[in-house]
Chain A
């Protein structure tokens, strides 16, 4: 079923909207959640919460790209779940992702007056646009989808070493980029 048709089902408050969403994007939502929370049961819970959140969001929202809309919701829900579980259980792989990003801004702080929510995201958009497609995809797969290095290497059909090197360089470039724009000092 086309995304526009699924969205229309939400607007009509038809329960088949959830079924159709699960059939088409259930795997994607679980994958994103799994990368963050690290276990099947929590990932399934995040998936179900994603459907609930989507049901509550549409209407009034009419997303232009349904898959990205769902992915973003799943990601945020999974992140909240991760925070909730952090005291009891660690997801080593996702902790690595956060550690890498921590290293990206290590030793720097934000200029408070410019740190408005979404402003840094806009700068990151500009930064991503400047990258080659391969570097950009590797960066987004690692820090948006939280894929493991191994998964990225397999997806891109390159070695894990190359993935690590690309990520290392891109993080350094991002750090310099944000510093030049005086978002980080």
Chain B
């Protein structure tokens, strides 16, 4: 028996396992937002529990250093808005919130991914929150500047000569958008001088949010920073050895029309195909 024989035998397994594997997919948004929500919720529960535990025992955080309070003072303190907000202030402290080791470990509650393709579509059609967009901007800013380090990431890295990295991830991105599933891809292109321009294209199931970081471009002039644009459509066409992808609000787009459009009204990605 060879590996190929075993591969063929595996091909005859019960269909239910094949379908299960096809329909099971954890979404980017669900996973990131869900996990962070779990962590935040767990912290909130702990903080509230600690607060009420302290209240029930009649103590306070500073009891050892303060003079004993009268009963009226204690009631007043426990009723004050400031005291009630203390757990939330702790939670809002970035140093604590950002340090996940300080929080109770929340294991992933199990295999919570969607189990049907329909659920994926229904669940993932969500506009990105401002918080998520900020996270994307932070992630773009943290990208390395070095070419070799960039090619070690999961970004789709292209030059005018070839696809340098991440073709599979790009193909998965395209496939997901065709199924109206929320997804995102980081694209890295290089200026003539070799400076990387890093762009995140985030798709929420309906629209594309294009965040472009040109901070590494030495010749970008006064427009330095991360720009964000929103587009309704992603249009792809292939000519000989090239694929062109245009994000735009235009529905019926051709090359002539594209040539007449202002650059702010579209985002263009071109990459070569073939070996």
Residues in chain A within 8 A of chain B (CB atoms): 27-28, 31, 40, 64-65, 67-69, 71-72, 75-76, 79, 97-105, 109-110, 115, 117-118, 120-121, 124-125, 128, 132-134, 136-137, 140-141, 143-145, 148, 150-151, 154-157, 184
Contact = CB atoms under 8 A, between A and B. Distances in A.
Contact of B1 (A65, A115, A140, A154): A115
Contact of B3 (A31, A40, A105, A121): A105
Nearest to B273: A40
Q: Determine the main DSSP class of B at the interface with A.
A: helix
A114 B7 CA distance: 18
Given A98-B7, A99-B3, A105-B3, A137 B13 contact: no
Interface stretch (B24-32, B156-164, B261-269): B24-32
Interface stretch (B14-22, B129-137, B212-220, B246-254): B14-22
A76 B20 CA distance: 19
Contacts of B21: 136-137, 140-141, 144-145
A132 B111 contact: yes
Contact of B19 (A68, A105, A124, A134): A68
Interface of B: 1-4, 6-15, 17-22, 24-28, 31, 111, 113, 154, 168-169, 172, 175, 178-179, 273
B13 A105 contact: no
18 contacts: A27-B178, A28-B22, A40-B273, A65-B19, A69-B15, A71-B18, A71-B22, A72-B11, A98-B7, A101-B4, A102-B6, A105-B3, A121-B13, A128-B17, A137-B24, A140-B17, A144-B10, A150-B154
Given A125-B13, A136-B20, A140-B18, 8 more contacts: A27-B178, A98-B3, A98-B4, A101-B7, A128-B13, A137-B24, A140-B20, A184-B1
A115 to B, nearest CB: 7
B4 A150 contact: no
B202 to A, nearest CB: 15
B151 to A, nearest CB: 14
A79 B8 contact: yes
Nearest to A101: B3
B12 A121 contact: yes
B17 A110 contact: no
A105 B1 contact: yes
Contact of B10 (A68, A71, A121, A155): A121
Contacts of A69: 15
Chain A interface helix/strand/loop/mixed: helix
Contacts of A109: 1
A24 B227 CA distance: 36
A58 to B, nearest CB: 16
Contacts of B168: 148, 150-151
B1 A144 contact: no
A68 B15 contact: yes
B31 A157 contact: yes
Contacts of A40: 273
Nearest to B30: A157
Given A105-B1, A105-B3, A105-B6, A76 B19 contact: no
B7 A143 contact: yes
Nearest to A28: B22
Contact of B28 (A110, A136, A157): A157
Nearest to B20: A137
A68 to B, nearest CB: 4
A31 B175 contact: yes
Contacts of B273: 40
A27 B175 contact: yes
A72 B264 CA distance: 46
Q: Which 4 A-B pairs have the closest CB atoms?
A: A102-B3, A121-B12, A101-B3, A68-B15
